[in-house]
Amino acid sequence: MLSLTACTVLSSAAIAYARRQNNLPGPSCGTLTGTVADVNAGIDPDKFKTIVAFGDSYTDGGKADGSALDPPVLVPPNSEAGGRSTDGPTWIEYVAQDMSDANLMDYAQSGACIDLDLWPSNPKKVDFIGQMNTFLAQSNALDPDTTLYTIFFGINDYEASKIDGDHMQEAANVLLDQLTTLASEPTSARNFLVADVYGRGVHTASGEAFKQTIFDGLADLREQGASFAYIDFSAIWDGVLGSDPGYAAFGYTSPDACTECTTDCDQYGWCQDWAHWFYWIGGHPSTQTMRIMADLVSEVLTECVVN
């Protein structure tokens, strides 16, 4: 059966140029105190040999045990490239490439929330707690100085909050508790990257408070000697799905999902021009969008440095 590699994505330099030319949103740099902002408090992207990733389908590379990922190749009519919910590498794979091809240990799972006890309606019974249990049970001997721990949750928590009630604050506190566990022996983690886009273009008071609690907790960890970066991907979603500047300014021809094409579709029911659609599967970024997300990470790490 025909296998297809992901469409060629724009280089970081090309995207940065397009952003300058079209006044596209970039990092919203801030400080460690006050409202949530993009910050880099001590993360040196040049020193990491290993990235340990926790999260949901945006980070899920098709494995959930930290083992080597399958190649990000599409084999139609399967729409998941090597088990991913996209047509190529995920954002964290691009970040690992940008960090001198750091070894990626991926524990993320599609549909994962932070804590299933808070969200009984979550359709997939997977969460951050379970991912942590898997990681800790392996007793990995990782160098704290050269290992970066990335955490990207909130989307499924926000969706579940519409059914189970507002437990977003409790979820934020559970996430921080897990970071404290990682920072303690035997893992003794020192470097964290936390990312968020809970509402994917929707903002609520509860969701913003969720982000603020996590941001404040990271600042507390910083005072205890940890380094962290906080990445708010909402600038991308707001820019693409909103009217200012809108999806066309990013080079997209559609803000919709390629695999849910309705006109001018290929033999698989996919859009003809994969690289210019914002989503691949409904609600899930195309690999082009994943590359833009990774570029925003790189920009935050270089432009939003704080003490």
CB 62 within 8 A of CB 109: no
**H/E run at residue 132:** helix 128-137
pLDDT (0 to 100) of residue 41: 97
CB 219 within 8 A of CB 32: yes
The contacts of residue 102 (CB under 8 Å, 6+ apart) are: 48, 49, 50, 51, 96, 148
CB 281 within 8 A of CB 77: no
Taking only the tens place, the pLDDT of each residue in 49-101 is 999 999 999 999 999 999 999 999 999 999 999 999 999 999 999 999 999 99
pLDDT (0 to 100) of residue 6: 36
pLDDT (0 to 100) of residue 12: 46
- Residue 68: which domain range? 4-303
pLDDT (0 to 100) of residue 4: 39
Token output for 56: 């949901």
Judge if pTM exceeds 0.85. yes
Q: In the chain, which residues have pLDDT < 70?
A: 1-25
User: What is the amino acid identity at position 74?
Assistant: L
3-state DSSP call for residue 53?
strand
Q: Hey, how many other C-beta atoms are within 10 angstroms of the C-beta on 147?
A: 23
DSSP 5: E
pLDDT (0 to 100) of residue 5: 37
pLDDT (0 to 100) of residue 18: 52
CATH code of residue 85: 3.40.50.1110
Token output for 256: 């919709």
User: Total structural domains in the chain?
Assistant: 1
pLDDT (0 to 100) of residue 144: 98
